[in-house]
Chains A and B, each alone.
Chain A
């Protein structure tokens, strides 16, 4: 146990900064940025301290416990295991980079940073909470600010009307940022309702005395409850993880969101969903997980291939990246569904790798959009001449997404595929590998369409490489992709220990089911 409350520091530094910002006069741009970035730096250093100080022997570490409502057994109970450490690190890297990526924001920047920091506090909180009530509280804090962030600072896209439901497009103003914000929030809140249902069911079945995850894990929840609570949690958290067919908030939401919000949302928030499915759903409900693993895996395979094919079809840069997130989150869920050591290691590593990769992608898309004022890749071409560094970073992100060795994405995909072959249905591995190939198709196509070819057409005269603070986001994220791709054990060892702890009850149950 650590004397200094490192986790509280990491979690609440952004919240404190958000409160401080309330008192900063509007219009003082530099003060706003200094406060925001300083708090994300504090969180980053804090998570680095936690990661470096993490004992490789495993278990829950850096524990802090402050009772909140004794009578209901609710407490602010913080602690990290190997999974939490890696995702804490990811979040702090992304938000640090994201704070730099929005450097040029003009409109109501103070309010933007306040909401962004509040959101980040929620994300940190989810990854370190050991009490389900507080977990859910943080989860909602992470999801709700998105409504305002997209609705106010988002961008609008003109959409073509087609298909059997085209009359709905006009009715709902599809393509508007308000529409995107509303859709995202409503879908995720519906998911939250399912999560709450599942959590309350679990707590009630365990005697109702405690929301503590440890207590629930040892409560030996009845099989009947597990069989309905697991799918509730899977659907609830899965909506945020982009699980098919509840993924459609993602393309619209990510396309409309401003740069830092897309980075954070695709980079970290979607991981909250997958983390929830694994940490709450699978670990606390092993029988439910074992019974539903086949369904979860098949849907994940659909996500991987279907998301990749949809991405191939897109011509709007943000939609391409958003659908690629749907596909890559499928890889996470696929790894989770295998209920194997390699699969779970791969799933958590994929959360980490995909977070870095998609954060880099959205940072770059933001840069391109800001300069070109266009997202249609058909209108672009030859951008590498004017913005060579952006081209290089985009290629690095793309290579990580298609599983190029030496970058973090490959490690994750390899582990997931290894796990999938050993999981309930070996053919999942084939589908996952196919998804990686389709990724190569659409990513390289996008790279060629945007950056290669003849020089920029006349209308793109304002293209230029990143300037000043914008570099920070790109260098940090690309550097991490390479670092963890070359030396995965920097976090894989911690993940592996936690996987061992969490997986044991699940495999025990799964073994019982096979041999009754």
Chain B
């Protein structure tokens, strides 16, 4: 097979699966069959993208294939197609690997759902692979945007999977509104870029005077999709979706699309140094704020969701420091270990039918295998030496130090300690805490769930080895060396783990740091801000406009109607029905005519 047909197969197989499931309702309603079909195509998709990656690593040059899509005066202004190079091939492999793992896992996890719902679930998963693959393989910013919106659609549909549940409906709509709000910036950025350069190229930075404006607008979209403060509010709510969905879309792949966009369109961002500094700070602030928030959550998925925000902050900060590799490496390892953590959380939720870590107490004795895998993921996230997250986080921090962003670096180091602390807290309470009633009858997950977790577990442990390969994509060398920054990060991480063990494991320390802060965080200050803007801003305006339209604009038009009716009524009064009046009118008319004739004749 050629490189082109391989890349088209990666997209084509899930597309065919989606169309089949969408149109052939008997198949969709068959449930498990639909699931196996979809998971099978996902695995095949992964195999194709692995072959693609092998080819690219084997020295195959970049390949672009497009078909014209929009025209302007007979000239093509937008194309759709695929662009295969090291970055897209590696990202595609990560996406399809996680997607395939999650779909296989879903075979077990969703087995108890009604059959038609399973069919619907897998249909959307297939659509998601197409959309995300289209995003990764995009040859220009416009296709990236198209796919970006489509993954947003999949996100909306999958968050709202339990659509009869009011909270799921709210969360789905909120996710759409918030990310679409941010996408206004992205779309405007595209429009301005087109206005300045006549194309949607990744490579061509916008000329003066919009050099900074264009990437800044694009970055607004990134803030929404990659959940940066203050537009992160949709991500914790998105946990209303089924847990495998959280693993795939809201942890490993879709939310990383923003980071991927910056990597892809880096020539545009590079031309705006002020924006890069802003990104370094914003990423660091997001990392710290989200990490602090994660510490006080009792819902295991909420902890992981805030952790995802926090880790995305690391990536954005690394990109802000000018290090593509730093951001991209962490994106890759994070995809593996965070997907693993969510799948592990799913196994625990599946076992105890609750999201609360307190209900999971003592799962270590019941579900040993998934507990081990979850802990491996937690260690990778905490940056425990030699686990995947250790290497990528280390590189990101070093690059920040290298660029001289000491402020963001400090925030990120603090966040690293908190990360280790909150993951230790989750592990200590959920697996080693006092046995809960709900966990008493817990059973280990089936093989369909454990196997994908094991695959991701291997990568969470050994994924750090991919650093050299990824560095090769940019033609950079990658040598791991412990610098002072790395040592500090490691020590902070170990300290966080130690504190967590003291506080939640051994209970030898029971103090509560800053109790006021805890209450403040749990009240959701950022959420309240946006809610206020919604309730005191947009809704009253809409209400006022609607009222104005109905009762003033339309009222004026009705007034004209009534005025005519009234005028008719008044004129009707002339029709008295009395002959004298008519004769009088005729007489007056004759007099008037004569007078007119005389005056006119004289003049």
Q: Which residues of A contact B (CB under 8 A)?
A: 162-166, 168-169, 171-172, 174, 183, 186-187, 245, 248, 306, 309-310, 312-314, 341-342, 345, 382, 384-385, 399, 402, 404-406, 410-411, 414-415, 417-418, 420-422, 426, 429-430, 433-434, 436-438, 440-441, 444-445, 448, 451-455, 488-489, 492-493, 496-497, 499-500
Contacts and interface: CB of A to CB of B under 8 A. Distances in A.
B105 interface: no
Given A405-B149, A406-B146, A437-B184, A162 B551 contact: yes
7 contacts: A162-B550, A165-B558, A342-B77, A421-B194, A436-B187, A437-B181, A499-B73
A285 B539 CA distance: 41
B532 interface: no
Mostly helix, strand, loop or mixed at chain A's interface?
Answer: helix
Contacts of B593: none
Contacts of A422: 195
Contact of B149 (A404, A429, A488): A404
Given A415-B70, A421-B191, A164 B555 contact: yes
B561 A165 contact: no
B73 A441 contact: no
B71 interface: yes
Interface string B186-211: 01100110110000000000000000
B545 interface: yes
B491 interface: no
A445 B173 contact: yes
Nearest to B566: A171
Contact of A421 (B73, B147, B192): B192
Given A405-B150, A452-B163, A452-B169, A437 B558 contact: no
A310 B546 contact: yes
Given A248-B557, A441-B177, A172 B562 contact: yes
Interface string B503-547: 000000000000000000000000000000000001101110111
B188 A488 contact: no
B559 interface: yes
Contact of B546 (A312, A341, A414): A312
Given A433-B184, A493-B71, A497-B74, A452 B547 contact: no
A213 to B, nearest CB: 23
Contacts of A488: 69-70
B68 interface: yes
B321 to A, nearest CB: 31
Contacts of A420: 191
Nearest to B556: A165
B581 interface: no
B164 A165 contact: no
B166 interface: yes
B482 interface: no
Contacts, number: 157
4 closest cross-chain pairs (CB), A and B? A163-B551, A313-B546, A165-B555, A405-B146
Contacts of A441: 177, 538
A309 B548 CA distance: 11
Nearest to B162: A452
Interface in B543-575: 543, 545-547, 549-559, 561-562, 565
Interface in B67-111: 68-74, 77
B266 interface: no
B545 A309 contact: yes
Contacts of B68: 489
Contacts of A451: 163
B contact residues, range = 35 or more
B176 interface: yes
A452 B160 contact: yes
Given A433-B184, A488-B70, A492-B71, A248 B153 contact: no
A342 B176 CA distance: 28
A345 to B, nearest CB: 7
A451 B166 CA distance: 11
B180 interface: yes
B153 A404 contact: yes
A25 to B, nearest CB: 40
Interface of B: 68-74, 77, 145-147, 149-150, 153, 156, 160, 163-164, 166, 169-170, 172-173, 176-177, 180-181, 184, 187-188, 191-192, 194-195, 538-539, 541-543, 545-547, 549-559, 561-562, 565
Contacts of B147: 405
Contacts of A429: 188, 191
B558 A163 contact: no
Contacts of A437: 180-181, 184
B28 to A, nearest CB: 11
Nearest to A500: B73
Contact of A411 (B70, B172, B173): B70
Given A312-B538, A345-B71, A452-B163, 16 more contacts: A164-B555, A174-B558, A245-B553, A404-B149, A405-B145, A405-B146, A405-B147, A414-B187, A417-B187, A417-B188, A418-B191, A421-B194, A441-B538, A448-B173, A496-B71, A499-B73
A345 B72 contact: yes
B169 A448 contact: yes
A196 to B, nearest CB: 20
A476 B549 CA distance: 34
A426 B177 contact: no
A174 B551 CA distance: 11
Contacts of A187: 557
Contacts of B541: 309
Nearest to A249: B557
Given A385-B164, A404-B153, A492 B70 contact: yes
A183 B555 CA distance: 12
Contacts of B194: 418, 421
Contacts of B169: 448, 452-453
Contacts of B188: 417, 429-430, 433
Nearest to B146: A405
A248 B553 contact: yes
Contacts of A342: 72, 77
Contacts of B550: 162-163
A187 B554 CA distance: 12
Q: Among A171, A314, A405, which residue has the most Cβ atoms of chain B within 10 A?
A: A405
Given A489-B71, A492-B70, A186 B561 contact: yes
A248 B176 contact: no
A434 B553 CA distance: 23
Nearest to A314: B546
A253 to B, nearest CB: 12
Given A385-B164, A440-B180, A444-B173, A418 B555 contact: no
Nearest to B157: A395
Contact of A313 (B146, B150, B176, B543): B543
Nearest to A493: B71
Contacts of B156: 444
Contacts of B176: 440, 444
Nearest to A430: B188
B542 A312 contact: yes
Contacts of A410: 146, 149
A488 B545 CA distance: 35
Q: Among B150, B160, B177, B558, which residue has the most Cβ atoms of chain A within 10 A?
A: B558
A248 B545 CA distance: 13
B542 A384 contact: no
A245 B541 CA distance: 18
Contacts of B554: 248
A172 B70 contact: no
A166 B561 CA distance: 14
Contacts of A444: 156, 173, 176-177
B535 to A, nearest CB: 13
Contacts of B166: 453-454
Nearest to B545: A309
Nearest to A497: B74
B441 to A, nearest CB: 30
